[in-house]
Chains A and B, each alone.
Chain A
Amino acid sequence: MSSTSRKSFTAILSGFFLILAGLIYWQVIADLSDHPLNPRRYDVFRQPRGAILDRWGTPLACTVRQNGDYVRVYACPSLSHVTGYFHQRYGMTGLERTYNSSLAQGQEVHTTIDLALQQKLEALMEGRVGAAIAMNPKTGEVLALLSSPYVDPNKLDEFWSDYAADPRSPFVNRATRGQYPPGSAVKPFVLAAALADRITFPEERWQDSGRVVLSGRTISNFQSQGWGSLTSLEALANSSNVVFAQLAAKLGPRLLDTLRQCGLGEALPFPLGSAAGKLPPAEQSAYGWGQIGIGQGSLLVTPLQMAAAVSAIANGGQLMRPYLVEEVRGGWRLPRLQRPVVYSQAVPQWTAAAVREGMVLAVQQGTAKGAALPGVIAAGKTGTAETLTGDDHAWFIGFAPAHDPRIAVAVVLEHGGLASETAAPLGGLVMQAALEACTQGGMQIER
């Protein structure tokens, strides 16, 4: 090339690369898809969209064509906290939001939810305020997740203002984000910590007069009932505040380690997001530790954390990462598969086994008697958490069958009153329904 041509071509080539750099920035690096003035932001509402399915392939959310428009239809309103909603005006929540990019490309989201179980749970929780989670304790699969009240994602246009004005906040997912004092439902984990630290042993004898004084202040049993002579396991079964306040006071800050290993005080990774709850500060008086040992004080937990933690007791001490989505597949992309993941070793195996016996005792003859199942040995623990406002919160956590657990549940009823009379029977029904679902579905437990 002559010098004229070479000079010209060099100039043109540098312009070409300048343009290329700009194009790479705007087309590949920058992301303007969510800019409020970008009309493509609303594209997703004008396209067919992948379905969200339950574990048997039943659609929980799917898109149908109505008068030329795509309309999202939800099979089960009580799953609105799981699927979320997908609405042109109100945006998207839940799995619709988490898996939006996959769904928008026509991929299907296969969840671990069992629709039939969810519907039973919905019927059981009818009219109550609270949350319930059913989980496979060996894998961490969430089989049903309910937060009550809930909105009907099919009727947002009609009832939005009612939902928004509802003082019970139906948009809040209490199962993952509700933070409650656990009450006595924390005692299995206190016992596990004490056993693991060799502070007590299952058959240790205690004298329970109905009250105990710690750093000058009294902690008493429910209705100040004295149990007399009882073992550590019986103390768990009868929910003796006297014994557990003393155990916690002896453990002190070491209690926090076990609670942390059980996933409390930490936002567990979960596709719907989750709250962290709250662990108390490590500086406490003996009375302060005593309060924590009976689930009062500044300890706050979510139902999801409790379901995961009780699953750890059930499966021999392993905290499984709770999961909701098994697989995302379809379209051009490779399927993404979620497998059970051991999140941490919460408590030693022998400790978990001992605590399990205490929880079995609680269902057989203790405070959780209401949760007893016909023909199946169940394990459980109730919790009645005092609140500053109104009635106590009622907890039940448990699993069944106790020696080969297939189902673990956590139930909380806001201002539900005495747990042994409200949450425990409900927890029993939930466990029964879940076991039936397992049997009918031939659910694979071992993976």
Chain B
Amino acid sequence: MRSLALSWLELAGWFGLALVWLSQGRSLVLWWQLAAIWAGFAVLGLLTRHLGGAHSLLLPAALLVGLGWIFLYRLRLEWAAHQFSGFVVGLAAYCVGLMGNWAASRTKYVFGVLAAALLIGTLLFGVWVGGAKAWLALGPYRFQPVEFARVLLILFVVRYLVENKPLLRLGGGWAAAKYWGPLALFMGCILLLLAVQRDLGPALLLFTVYCILSGLVVPARKLLAAYSGLAFAGIGVGLLLFPHLRIRMTAWLHPWEHAEGAGYQILQGLFALNSGKVLGRGIGAGMGELISEVHTDFLFALVGEELGFAGVLSLLSLYLIMAFIGLRLADHTSDPIEKYTAVGIVLLWSVQVFMVVGGIIRLVPLTGMTLPFVSYGSSSLVAQMWMLGILASVGRVRAR
């Protein structure tokens, strides 16, 4: 009963937002898509409950997708429509995530191989879009394999860490190195692949989540030191090798001096956020569309302008709630692989949000990633829905 009441509340919230926006003098031609998103999540909720999964994550996720859709609609009709088709595929991806047995032992290391294959495939057959070779074309459809590859990688890393945990914990010396070696080599190759494709955001995200995960599974001070050293070395080498990385660092550290060049985008993002103040300027009233990549990397800045600090606080709170629910789910399972998979997914979301929002407010350098569930990008949305399904299946009581 409680979830039903919450759903109605959510519906009211959405339509409230839509009304605010209608009052801006634009007609809501595709209003049914918003309703369909809500209905889709409601069906997913019923299905999840029927299968014994955890449906509590669906509510915040629905709010995020709905908010993202509203802002994309406000920017451009086609973007919202495209996002909606991504959501429809995402429904299927959720079901795959929910029904699959991701902790099954027979999968062994197949996820790792799959992820590597996806990335190598991108390198060989990919198309360049926006300065990164990150797309694969399947007939008329294009998708970003890295969005899926990183989920597979997390599944693989968790399995490897958990299965080899006793051996990895042996302490220093040759014995430990024998088991750390293959993992480090594999991850190194993957990161190199991403770097070659100039997709540095996902590379940094993966590295961070990988470090945290291995630190959680195998707690060791030495590990922390090693990872920090690796990170610094990696950033140093990256700065030497990639000029566009140096530009990003300049834009991060000195945007005001390069206001019309490298720092332009980040300053426009800050101006947008700043003009939102506490309550925002109202949906449609902002000038955020002037920011380049506003629908993907900088959608958060637009939300900050039009809904203000109150709006972005709510948005970030939704992610926080999702992280909390996800970690609670991780506690409820006895299977360590399931548990760390759940933790890994929560970390993927949280670190990505931190990197995206932190990049916009100049806390960290810009990495050019999407805001999970919200930003434009059907590959991203499908992958997020898949992760949501996997997380929901963690709480599932399986008949074994």
Residue ranges of A at the interface with B (Cβ–Cβ < 8 Å): 1-2, 4-5, 7-9, 11-13, 15-16, 18-20, 22-28, 30-33, 35, 37-40, 43
Residues of chain A within 8 A of B327, CB atoms compared: 1, 5, 8-9
A20 contacts B346, CB within 8 Å? no
Measured in the bound complex, the distance between the Cα atoms of B209 and A12 in whole Å is 12
B343 contacts A4, CB within 8 Å? yes
B274 contacts A27, CB within 8 Å? yes
Residues of chain B within 8 A of A40, CB atoms compared: 271, 275, 287
A27 contacts B304, CB within 8 Å? yes
B330 contacts A5, CB within 8 Å? yes
Point out the residue from A8, A19, A25, A28 that lies within 8 Å of B277, measured CB to CB: A28
B248 to A: closest C-beta gap in Å? 18
Of the listed stretches B137-145, B148-156, B307-315, name the one at the interface; the rest are far from the partner chain: B307-315
Residues of chain B within 8 A of A25, CB atoms compared: 361
A109 to B: closest C-beta gap in Å? 23
B330 contacts A22, CB within 8 Å? no
A27 contacts B350, CB within 8 Å? no
Measured in the bound complex, the distance between the Cα atoms of B343 and A2 in whole Å is 12
A19 contacts B274, CB within 8 Å? no
Residues of chain B within 8 A of A2, CB atoms compared: 330-331
A30 contacts B363, CB within 8 Å? no
Smallest CB gap from A24: residue in B = B309
B304 contacts A23, CB within 8 Å? yes
Indicate if B78 sits at the interface (CB-CB under 8 A): no
B273 contacts A27, CB within 8 Å? yes
Indicate if B207 sits at the interface (CB-CB under 8 A): no
Measured in the bound complex, the distance between the Cα atoms of B87 and A250 in whole Å is 92
Measured in the bound complex, the distance between the Cα atoms of B274 and A43 in whole Å is 14
Per-position binary interface string of chain B over residues 341-357, scored 1 when its CB falls under 8 Å from any chain A CB and 0 otherwise: 00100110011001001
A19-B357, A20-B316, A37-B259 known; 6 other A-B pairs, CB under 8 Å?
A9-B323, A12-B346, A23-B309, A33-B274, A37-B264, A43-B287
Measured in the bound complex, the distance between the Cα atoms of B267 and A37 in whole Å is 9
Measured in the bound complex, the distance between the Cα atoms of B273 and A31 in whole Å is 10
Residues of chain B within 8 A of A1, CB atoms compared: 327-328, 331
Point out the residue from A19, A27, A43 that lies within 8 Å of B363, measured CB to CB: A19
B292 to A: closest C-beta gap in Å? 13
Ordered by A's residue number, 5 sampled pairs between the chains whose C-beta atoms are within 8 Å are A12-B347, A15-B358, A27-B273, A27-B274, A27-B312
Count B-side interface residues using an 8 Å CB cutoff. Answer: 43
B278 contacts A27, CB within 8 Å? yes
Residues of chain A within 8 A of B312, CB atoms compared: 23, 27
A141 to B: closest C-beta gap in Å? 35
Point out the residue from A4, A5, A15, A19 that lies within 8 Å of B361, measured CB to CB: A19
A15 contacts B354, CB within 8 Å? yes
A139 to B: closest C-beta gap in Å? 37
Residues of chain A within 8 A of B110, CB atoms compared: none
Decide if the interface of chain A is mainly helix, strand, loop or mixed.
helix
Knowing A1-B331, A9-B324, A16-B316, the reply to whether A26 touches B354 (Cβ < 8 A) is: no
A37 contacts B260, CB within 8 Å? yes
Indicate if B276 sits at the interface (CB-CB under 8 A): yes
Measured in the bound complex, the distance between the Cα atoms of B330 and A5 in whole Å is 7
Knowing A4-B343, A5-B330, A39-B290, the reply to whether A26 touches B324 (Cβ < 8 A) is: no
Residues of chain B within 8 A of A31, CB atoms compared: 274
Knowing A20-B313, A38-B271, A39-B287, the reply to whether A11 touches B212 (Cβ < 8 A) is: yes
Point out the residue from A11, A16, A18, A26 that lies within 8 Å of B274, measured CB to CB: A26
B320 contacts A5, CB within 8 Å? no
Measured in the bound complex, the distance between the Cα atoms of B331 and A31 in whole Å is 44
Indicate if B270 sits at the interface (CB-CB under 8 A): yes
Indicate if B339 sits at the interface (CB-CB under 8 A): yes
A4 contacts B320, CB within 8 Å? no
Residues of chain A within 8 A of B357, CB atoms compared: 19, 23
Measured in the bound complex, the distance between the Cα atoms of B143 and A440 in whole Å is 78
A12 to B: closest C-beta gap in Å? 5
B273 contacts A26, CB within 8 Å? yes
Measured in the bound complex, the distance between the Cα atoms of B278 and A26 in whole Å is 11
A5 contacts B343, CB within 8 Å? yes
Residues of chain B within 8 A of A16, CB atoms compared: 316, 320
B 355-400 contacts with A by CB, 8 A: 357-358, 361-363
Measured in the bound complex, the distance between the Cα atoms of B348 and A5 in whole Å is 14
B205 to A: closest C-beta gap in Å? 13
Residues of chain A within 8 A of B363, CB atoms compared: 18-19, 22
B 272-289 contacts with A by CB, 8 A: 273-278, 287
Measured in the bound complex, the distance between the Cα atoms of B287 and A289 in whole Å is 63
Indicate if B216 sits at the interface (CB-CB under 8 A): yes
B361 contacts A22, CB within 8 Å? yes
A14 to B: closest C-beta gap in Å? 10
B354 contacts A19, CB within 8 Å? yes
A7 contacts B274, CB within 8 Å? no
Knowing A1-B328, A9-B323, A20-B316, the reply to whether A32 touches B270 (Cβ < 8 A) is: yes
Measured in the bound complex, the distance between the Cα atoms of B277 and A2 in whole Å is 39
B271 contacts A12, CB within 8 Å? no
B347 contacts A8, CB within 8 Å? yes
Measured in the bound complex, the distance between the Cα atoms of B272 and A30 in whole Å is 12
Residues of chain B within 8 A of A11, CB atoms compared: 212
B323 contacts A12, CB within 8 Å? yes
B219 to A: closest C-beta gap in Å? 9
Residues of chain A within 8 A of B358, CB atoms compared: 15, 18-19, 22
Q: Shortest 6 CB-CB distances between A and B: which pairs? A: A22-B361, A5-B327, A38-B271, A32-B274, A27-B309, A12-B350
Residues of chain B within 8 A of A12, CB atoms compared: 320, 323, 346-347, 350
- Name, among B274, B309, B331, B363, the residue most crowded by chain A CB atoms within 10 Å (CB to CB): B274
Measured in the bound complex, the distance between the Cα atoms of B165 and A240 in whole Å is 108
Measured in the bound complex, the distance between the Cα atoms of B260 and A27 in whole Å is 22
